[in-house]
Structure 1
Amino acid sequence: MLALQKTRSAAGLDFRAPDEPAPQAGEVLVRVHSAGICGTDLHIATWTSGYESMESAMPVTLGHEFAGTIVKVGPGIAEDVLGMRVTARPSTTCGRCAACLAGDEDNCSARKGIGIGRNGAFAALVSVPYANCHRVPDGLDLSLAALTEPMTVCAEAVATADVRAGQTVLVIGPGFIGQGIAILARAKGARVVVLGRDDQPRIAALQAAGFLDLIDTQDTTLEVALTDFPPFDAIIEAAGVPSLVNASLPFLKKRGIFTVVGIHPRAAEIDLTRLVRMHQQIRGSYRAPAAAWDDVLRFLQSNQDLMRGLISHSFPLTDALEGFKLAHTRVASKVMLTIGDAP
């Protein structure tokens, strides 16, 4: 079995041939159909700080955005789930720590991420807890079902920002997460403005998705670009650029909500006095609750043509390193690896 793995505490990834995984108690073996490359995978590949905890799991197969078919079950799982098409939440909990025993699994002290702390889906087969699986609706393309995990991140950001119909919302960053946020905020009935810099291909994807208020600051400034818009009810930052936080806060209305989704390489300076006097809030958004996954799957099923337009490139697993190179650029929205055939 071919797998793309992180094998050392340095930049780079390696193809290796690990043994076929065996599902443990409560787990199922999934034959992977499609798996997306995300920003976390890029950080791991270049070995930026913050992923040192992976060292004890190496060699570890990457990949946590995926969909496929259950082909084997571990002890405790009924065989009637064989053949089920699923995607899976990548955050696995231990079930034994004090938080888990108290029913507070979100604060599990031994949490491991599929594709980070345990083997992931950049391989033909991946073993995952059945409790983490979500059934893919009939008729939903598995390559689109592989978008579920990043789209739950988008859904959580929209919920955290309390986006509502009639609002005007600014989304900073037109990468896949920004694109997904824009689509879900629009579905809530908001007017959405998306801002990027030197992002013509990804802005073009948003144009194709029907968005009109799209700004590329390559030839202008943020201040000039946003002058003609009313103060925003919500700003959602998905670019990971610290300077943009304080620069865009003046365009947030009084009592507005600024939500940070991007992962930042350094601290951001903020004018706290202005924040206080404007009675604004800054919120962080990260992992979505389990209930959001089925909601997102239903959205994907109902909007397949729209969402298909956000998969900008597809590669077979054997060409995954080319996919990683492309994902590092501002040309790609979502790079998808096609690993197996649909059942």
Structure 2
Amino acid sequence: MLALQKVRPGVGVELRTVETLDLVPAGEVLVRVHSAGICGTDLHIAEWTAGYESMQSAMPVTLGHEFSGTITAVGDGLEPALIGRRITARPSTTCGTCAACLAGDEDNCSNRKGLGISRNGAFSQFVCVPYSNCHALPDNLDMGIAALTEPMTVCAEAVATADVRPGQKILVIGPGFIGQGIAVLARAKGADVVVMGRDDEPRLAALRAIGFEYLVDTKHVTIDETLSKLSPFDAIIEAAGVPALVSATLPYLKKRGIFTVVGIHPQPAEIDLVKLVRMHQQIRGSYRAPAEDWDAVIAFLAANQVMMSKLISHRLPLADALTGFRVAHQRVATKVVLQIGGGA
């Protein structure tokens, strides 16, 4: 089967022909992939930015961790009746044997492996995942939209971490898909949302198309002249991964406000801690959502398919994956979904 893989350290990914898995491990399921999304992590791996050195031991490894598909085979210990079930899956797999796992605290597993990073992922016709990581999909949910579940759980966790509430004014920094999803979910909470980017017209246009009004492109205006008119913000959620934007936007956070960092930063950010203390502000980090939140996100996607479909700018076959990487890197795309298998 065809697979998009990271073969060696350094820049680049490759489309390769690989063997289909013959034996499904106990407790796992083989999934025929229908759709899989390209995300920022995949771009970082392709560009070989710092922070992914640990995946060298898994190479060659198939990328991709945002996906939907159908179970086609099961390992020992699982019922054959699961075959045919439409699912998506949490990409972070736990070991089940470390002290945290044995204590029932799997969120703090010390031996996690990431799908598409340290074990083969979903940019191929089939992927193998633990059944305990799977979440059932409703029959009416488009499989391309279902592939958005994982990044939308990241967005939901960010909104929860920022403690977004009805009537608040929220600034979202970065209009990539994570920023877009955060904006969508914060608005669904009843907040007024401002989204800021730089030279990001295609992605801001996607938000405009689904009803967002307060969209700022700092290619045309300065941060100060724009945010001074719109602030103070009850919460700021940073999803751009640009360290300088932390200190640049903190002055527009209200007293006792919450600044939540979601972006992955290439270097440390400098902040004025004296001002932070005197304003009684908080800085929080947000990353992976707990398993119990996934079904609520799936329900949200199923209920808002028309809106969410407008955030998918490109649907491409796996053979055109490198084109998808290119448009995502150039920020022309809002979201690229690779359509790999058939079915609804």
Match of 1:15 in 2: 15
Post-superposition shift, 1:17?
1.7
Kindly report structure 1 stretches of 4+ aligned residues shifted beyond 6 Å: none
Q: Residue 230 of structure 1: CA displacement? A: 3.3
Deviations along 1:209-247, whole A, 9 cap, x unmatched? Answer: 100111111111100011211310000000111000001
For 1:221, the aligned partner's letter is T
Q: Within 5 A, what are the aligned runs for 1:299-318?
A: 299-318=300-319
Q: Deviations over 1:175-196 (max 9, x none)?
A: 1000000000000000000011
> Structure 1 stretch 329-338 or stretch 162-171: which is displaced more?
329-338
- Give the secondary structure class of the aligned counterpart of 2:20: coil
Aligned to 2:250: 249
The answer to whether 1:213 aligns with 2:235 is no
Match of 1:187 in 2: 188
The separation in 2 between residues aligned to 1:18 and 1:329, in whole angstroms, is 29
SS in 2 for 1:299: helix
Instruction: Identify the residue that residue 196 of structure 1 maps to in structure 2.
Output: 197
Matched letter for residue 42 of structure 1? L
Correspondence 1:153-164 to 2 at 5 A = 153-164=154-165
Post-superposition CA distance 1:1-41 (Å, at most 9, x none): 11111110111111222211232000000000000000000
Partner-residue secondary structure (3-state), 1:36: strand
Q: Which amino acid aligns with 1:55?
A: Q
- Residues 149-192 of structure 1, C-alpha deviations (whole Å, 9 max, x = no match): 00000000000000000100000011100000000000000000
CA distance in 2, matches of 1:266, 1:284: 15
The alignment covers a number of residue pairs equal to 343
Give, in whole Å, the separation in 2 of the partners of 1:76 and 1:282: 44
Name the CA distance, whole Å, in 2 between partners of 1:102 and 1:17: 41
Query: Which residue identity is paired with 2:146?
Result: A
- Tell me how large the CA RMSD over aligned residues is: 0.7
TM-score when normalising by structure 2: 0.99
Matches within 5 A, 1:136-175: 136-175=137-176
Distance 1:333 1:230 in 2: 27
Equivalent in the alignment of 2:179: 178
What are the within-5 Å matches in structure 2 for residues 1-343 of structure 1? Answer: 1-21=1-21, 22-343=23-344
Consecutive unaligned residues of structure 2, counting only runs of 5 or more, are: none
Find the residue that maps to 1:311 and give its secondary structure: coil
Asked if the contact 1:197/1:216 (under 8 Å) is kept, the reply is yes
CA distance in 2 between partners of 1:253 and 1:43 (Å) = 33
**Worse overlay, 270-279 or 9-18:** 9-18
TM-score (norm 1): 0.99
CA contact (8 A) 1:23 1:128 kept: no
Letter of the 1:13 counterpart: V
Shift of residue 264, structure 1, vs aligned partner? 0.5
Cα distance in 2 for residues equivalent to 1:218 and 1:308: 27
Give the letter for the 1:131 counterpart.
S
* Structure 1 residue 325: Cα displacement: 0.7
